[in-house]
C-alpha cells in the first residue's frame, strides 16, 4: 500500500514542471535603485508561489549587457535587458561590450518600455541636450544598457563624451548622491517612469527634466521610439517632457526545458497585478504586446503559452 502511494505521488510530481527536482532559477536584474530589481523580486515571489519545485533567487547586476553575457555563460536563467542591447548581443557587437554573438539567448517576453530620462540640477542651468556641453554627466555603469542609450542619444544630438566637462560611469543611486552633493550636474538614466533614484533626487534638490527632441529620436532610429514623461512624474516637473523610449525584454537560456519556460511564462502573465504592485512601470506590461519587436527568437516554452492565448509576433 505504501509503495502504491509513493508511486502515485511520484507520478504527480513527474507531471509538474520543475517539481521532480528543486530547480534553482537565478533572476538577473540591475542596480537595487532601478526598476529591474524590484520587478525581479516580484517575479521571484510569483515563480516561487506558482511554479512547483522552483527555487528562484534574485541577483543585482550592472543590468542589460552583463545579464545577457551571464545568460550566454549559463550563469542565469531569467534576465532583464533593453531591446537595443539584446540586438547588439545577438549580433556580437564588440563596441557594445559583446566579444562574440550571444546565440544561446532566447526571448521570454517583451515587457515595459524604458524611458531615457536626462535630469539636471536647476543650479546647473541645463535645459536642453546642447546645454550638456562642458557639464558633468553620469551615463550609467560602463557598457550597461543605460550607457549604450547615452551614447546613442548624445551622438544623434551631435555630442561626444569629449564635449562634456566630465563623464561619470555610475549606477543610478551613486549618480544621485553626487548630484545631491553638487559634484555632478546631470544624470542620464534609462528606466521605467517613476524610477526610485530620480524620485529621491527630485525630493532633495530642484531639477530640470531635459527634453530629448523627436528629431533626435528619429535620427537614432529603431528600436528607439518617441515618448513623453508625463507632468508630475517627479517633484517639480510641471509639464510633459518629450523623450525617447526603448522596449525591455525578459530573456532566458536556449537550453531551458520547454515545460519549465512555459510554466514561468504562464505564472508571470497570470499574475501581472503582483508585478504592478512592485513598480508602476509594470502597468505597461500586457499580454497582447508580449511578442512584439524581439530581435532574437522566442523560447519554444514561451511561444507555446502565447500561442494558447492567441498572441502572435
CATH for 259: 3.40.190.10
| DSSP sequence for 258-286 | HHHHHHHHHHHHT-HHHHHHH-GGGGG--
Within this chain, do residues 221 and 263 fall inside the same structural domain, yes or no?
no
| Domain contains 267 | yes
Report the C-alpha gap between 175 and 197 in whole angstroms: 9
What's the total number of domains in the chain?
Answer: 2
Within this chain, do residues 184 and 271 fall inside the same structural domain, yes or no?
no
Within this chain, do residues 120 and 51 fall inside the same structural domain, yes or no?
no
Containing H/E element for 55? strand 54-59
In the structure grid, which three cell numbers stand for residue 64, read together?
Answer: 542589460
- Phi and psi based region of residue 248 (left: phi greater than 0; alpha: psi -120 to 50; beta: remaining): beta
> Which of 90-122 are b and which e, b meaning 16 or more Cβ less than 10 Å from the residue's Cβ?
beebeebbbeeebeebbbbbbbbbbbbbbbbbe
Alpha carbon distances (Å) from 134 to 56, 138, 166, 178, 256: 45, 13, 7, 17, 48
| Domain contains 6 | no
Model pTM greater than 0.75? yes
Going residue by residue through the chain, which has 313 residues, state the pLDDT in tens, using 9 for 90 and above. Answer: 444 444 444 444 444 444 444 589 999 999 898 899 999 999 999 999 999 999 999 999 999 999 999 999 999 999 999 999 999 999 999 989 999 999 999 999 999 999 999 999 999 999 999 999 999 999 998 878 899 999 999 999 999 999 999 999 999 999 999 999 999 999 999 998 999 999 999 999 999 999 999 999 999 998 899 999 999 999 999 999 999 999 999 999 999 999 999 999 999 999 999 999 999 999 999 999 999 999 999 999 999 999 999 999 8
In the structure grid, which three cell numbers stand for residue 238, read together?
Answer: 510641471
Q: Which residues pair with 15 in a beta bridge?
A: none
Q: Which residues pair with 78 in a beta bridge?
A: 27, 252
**HSE-CB of 55 using CA atoms within 13 angstroms:** 6
Amino acid at each position: 500500500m505504501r509503495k502504491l502511494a509513493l508511486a502515485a505521488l511520484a507520478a504527480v510530481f513527474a507531471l509538474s514542471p520543475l517539481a521532480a527536482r528543486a530547480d534553482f532559477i537565478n533572476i538577473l536584474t540591475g542596480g537595487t535603485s532601478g526598476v529591474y530589481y524590484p520587478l525581479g523580486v516580484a517575479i521571484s515571489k510569483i515563480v516561487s508561489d506558482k511554479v512547483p519545485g522552483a527555487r528562484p533567487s534574485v541577483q543585482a547586476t550592472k543590468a542589460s549587457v552583463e545579464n545577457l553575457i551571464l545568460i550566454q555563460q549559463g550563469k542565469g536563467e531569467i534576465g532583464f535587458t533593453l531591446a537595443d542591447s539584446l540586438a547588439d548581443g545577438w549580433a556580437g557587437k564588440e563596441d557594445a561590450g559583446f566579444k562574440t554573438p550571444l546565440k544561446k539567448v532566447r526571448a521570454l517576453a517583451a515587457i515595459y518600455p524604458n524611458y531615457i530620462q536626462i535630469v539636471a540640477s536647476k543650479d546647473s542651468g541645463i535645459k536642453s541636450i546642447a546645454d550638456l556641453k562642458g557639464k558633468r554627466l553620469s551615463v550609467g555603469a560602463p557598457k550597461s544598457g543605460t550607457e549604450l542609450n547615452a551614447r546613442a542619444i548624445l551622438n544623434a544630438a551631435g555630442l561626444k563624451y569629449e564635449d562634456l566637462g566630465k563623464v561619470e560611469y555610475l549606477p543610478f543611486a551613486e549618480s544621485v548622491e553626487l548630484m545631491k552633493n553638487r559634484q555632478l550636474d546631470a544624470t542620464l538614466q534609462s528606466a521605467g517612469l517613476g524610477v526610485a533614484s530620480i524620485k529621491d533626487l527630485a525630493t532633495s534638490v530642484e531639477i530640470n527634466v531635459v527634453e530629448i527632441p523627436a528629431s533626435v529620436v528619429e535620427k537614432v532610429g529603431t528600436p528607439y521610439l518617441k515618448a513623453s514623461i508625463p507632468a508630475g512624474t517627479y517633484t517639480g516637473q510641471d509639464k510633459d517632457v518629450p523623450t525617447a523610449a526603448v522596449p525591455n525584454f525578459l530573456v532566458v537560456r536556449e537550453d531551458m526545458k520547454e515545460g519549465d519556460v512555459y510554466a514561468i511564462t504562464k505564472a508571470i502573465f497570470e499574475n501581472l497585478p503582483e508585478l504592478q504592485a512592485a513598480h508602476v512601470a509594470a502597468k505597461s506590461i500586457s499580454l497582447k504586446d508580449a511578442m512584439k519587436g524581439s530581435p532574437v527568437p522566442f523560447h519554444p516554452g514561451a511561444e507555446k503559452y502565447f500561442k494558447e492565448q492567441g498572441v502572435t509576433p
